[in-house]
Structure 1
């Protein structure tokens, strides 16, 4: 589990690929102190496992499922990536609950200045994800915990403070670039529970019959 607070920006030193399987070699400094083989590391918001540790670099495997549903396939030598180690029990929880399981990618449609901030408008590749994205809700972009400021029928917008822009790879991004998206896990669970329940006897999910109309009828909405 992660918080979406990026610890440092690493630099890709090499990519080995065979079909849709990849090994990423990443140079880092801050996270290397206690990193061990088998540890989880968020790389651009994707939870990966360290399989090799060097003095100033580590390597992670990328499986085909991750390759297909993230922007990791576009990385090359010199690419900058957001890094975060798994959260520690007892530490401050400054972001939100982040699993490192990308729901898909989104394309930056616009980046506009708003006084000291930058507004980034993103269009999800799968617009069905928008049902989990609400104003003042949480969203993870390339591993960064951010707050949604507004939504439309096809896009959502976040506001970035100067510190976040300077300390993450968002400083390298421009319209047309793809970002990894992870929606708030709480919203996904609520959506699932509203639409499905365990079928008696067979263990298979089936429609629950719960709807907004039913909730409103009984005073819950």
Structure 2
């Protein structure tokens, strides 16, 4: 489990493409401090398992479904990435519950600078619309954010200077793709309500 608080702005060091998978090597000296084989690290919001690690880099395998569902399918050497280690049991819970299971991707359609912040508008896949609410939580490229506004096709977030400086969201441009993970609590509530309705029909 993760919290959506990015620990380090790393970069893609190498990409090896296979027939139905890819192996990524990522530069991230902070998150590799205690990385061991089998450890979980979120890369742009995607939970991946460490295969190899040294003092500055770690390697992960990415399966075809993840490549198709997330922006990692187009990752190239030199690309910046948001990195977060799995939450420790005694750690602070600074964001919200993030599983690292990407629900889909979105495209940046607008960036509006403010005095010290920036409002960014993203497309919203129709399949995720019901899970996104104003003032609710959403994960964008692994960053825990609060939804500022939402309509049937788009949503906006406000990015503070820290987020702009320390995550990939400060470098993304209109037209770029990001990973989305909606609040898992919303999905659980939906499933419970569906089960309740199904039970009442018996």
- Shorter-chain TM-score: which interval? over 0.9
Is 2:45–2:141's contact at 8 Å kept on the other side of the alignment?
yes
Which residue matches 1:154? 153
CA change 1:34–1:171 in 2 (3 A) is same
Measure how far apart 1:19 and its partner are.
2.8
State the secondary structure of the residue aligned to 2:87: coil
Which residue matches 2:194? 195
Is 1:195–1:209's contact at 8 Å kept on the other side of the alignment?
no
Q: 2: distance between equivalents of 1:122 and 1:72?
A: 18
Is the aligned partner of 1:98 residue 2:89? Answer: no
State the secondary structure of the residue aligned to 2:31: helix
Computing the radius of gyration from Cα coordinates, the structure with the larger value is 1
Which residue matches 1:15? 15
Is 1:6–1:168's contact at 8 Å kept on the other side of the alignment?
yes
Structure 1: gaps (5+ residues)? 198-205, 211-221
Is 1:106–1:181's contact at 8 Å kept on the other side of the alignment?
yes
Q: 2: distance between equivalents of 1:182 and 1:208?
A: 29
Structure 2: gaps (5+ residues)? none
Measure how far apart 1:74 and its partner are.
1.2
TM-score by length of 1: 0.88
Higher-RCO chain (CA-CA 8 Å, sequence separation at least 6): 2
TM-score by length of 2: 0.96
Measure how far apart 1:55 and its partner are.
2.5
Is the aligned partner of 1:108 residue 2:99? Answer: no
Aligned residues between the structures: 201
Q: 2: distance between equivalents of 1:97 and 1:106?
A: 20
Is 1:194–1:208's contact at 8 Å kept on the other side of the alignment?
no
Is the aligned partner of 1:137 residue 2:128? Answer: no
Q: 2: distance between equivalents of 1:152 and 1:47?
A: 29
Measure how far apart 1:209 and its partner are.
5.3
Greater shift, 147-156 or 12-21, is seen at: 12-21
Q: Deviations over 1:33-73 (max 9, x none)?
A: 11111000000000000001122100001001111100001
Is the aligned partner of 1:179 residue 2:170? Answer: no
Which residue matches 2:198? 207
